Structure 1
């Protein structure tokens, strides 16, 4: 895809044309949340202007239109990751999705002495729920360690899988390091050992084509706002046999078939897990987002972002006193770094004054920060709508900050 094409695509994102502190905005925080194209903004606006009603409850025209829009979004999201719509539970995001698995699938099955493995690079959303259920049932959460380069220690993991392990929680792509983990290989090993796998795909689905069935996992969760959709949206895919066996996590409307005081019968999956009024407009927007990304092509997006990653890595490595955290062989377009003599928060604040938006902090990954012996990092995360010129602006802003810090 040519540079002119990417320039036209960038123009689809209204917010990228604004200024910050009288400087052109350089948005390098897409791992936190992606910006929204006009197509998504228009879809949400159109729903509220023309179709707003609740889903699955009214027989009037607006109710039918809202239900079709919501279920149409489910079908679009399912196509995006190559799964059946009936196996896709729509959630508020990855956090809700993993909590659903932890409480509905894992908790009834875990016993004292059982082990839950979670990699050292997990986001708290794929760690804290496991700690909570482990406390309730007497199980133990054990880390899967990583190498200094930021890759999973596969020989060590293979040895761990021989123990009393019931659940393996792993991220597809690290939100801090950008490491792309060999999920299919790991899931095959776990499945052979009878271990259920829960994959956090929040940072993978925005960056590359994801074909969930080919990964061989039991559960796969991802978040809508990181793939150009609205906040408060996401999805959980699970094997059908798990969805059928799992009890509901939330109770209320829509997830029932019939309610009596002596007994309630529940709806079929995925509706069994979607109690209450959902974020209908948000999912309409997410449906528009995945259609937008599909029109560009996720393979094209992956190629573009790898080009940006290579360029940014080369430029950052040339900066004196700058340390890149995580040097995995396979990475998505995420770079965490530190500059000698500057705290990550201070650095990010000063970069913001130059119009450059990067994330600073522990990135909801305290155990990973502890592994590297740092309290926080700065993180520049790139999307297909970024440019080489924005990388240059980041480098120029860092140089200015270094001069300010002496």
Structure 2
């Protein structure tokens, strides 16, 4: 089935064609029709499967067909999300798919001034995409009224739980009409998610779950390389310089770590930017937009960017540090291989991170392919780098350490046998 076969507005069909969206993904195929029938939906699908368009398309169609003018008579759809980046991404999807429609969408989130957001609300909107904090600020200030909401969307609900937004979700229900449609989207499902979902959706809700045996997208070729913690920067530098045209997204454990890796790349002439919660919203948007456009080839981020962010044409994802939560591995590597594109992901695993690797492999229920690095190749990576610095003593010390490590590993293997 193609999007052109759906009974949706002609403008939406044209916009989808312009966006080169011809056929729906599995989650879109299974959810669009029930949403158009105004049924409640609980949808579970892995990252990168097209969940955003699955609700954007039918919501735009419903509001467009029922509007007689471009004038808004109140917020008819509320979309709640956990992060600012996701709010902006979903708003962009509403704008792209809803181009030339009568439907007005606005985005509200914290970390920036209120004035522009208040001005947009005062002009009148049909769809509000928001994070909980700023939304409640505006509710209490009287800038937002939710008494006309017909559709409530909770996206990345599992991440909202992780960030402690359960009370916010419960509280917002009190501001909404009881007779409404609720759409609940999540990448994972467990007891907490089910409890939250069944508290807010109707008993006859459609339950849709797209759960392949391998939670990592089939479009992503992912592997792990065993690298000493202090040597990771050399391997990242090598990857960047060997792939000068590639768009590379690097994930690290902490904000401090992100800045240190960025500084290390700067010292060897590699331009990069960081993306994390310690930067203000304008800085985060600037870095993200530069990376999306391709003007920036290397972006170093914390897990703030692992969930729900759709960055086109990411060639490589590098797990510079393994994630401490196994499920975040799936979200991280899912930043490449989006839609029908193919992607590559590599994880740098130090000896101290082996327990994390075991947890990840347990979560995805299969071992990750090991990217074999020969002793010679390992030496050449470090020697090439440190020769440039003229640090011969450290070269020799590193080679000696590697020799000892290599011999120790051989002895351990023999003992096991």
Highest RCO, 1 vs 2 (Cα 8 Å, sep ≥ 6): 1
Greater gyration radius: 2
TM-score (norm 1): 0.27
TM-score by length of 2: 0.27
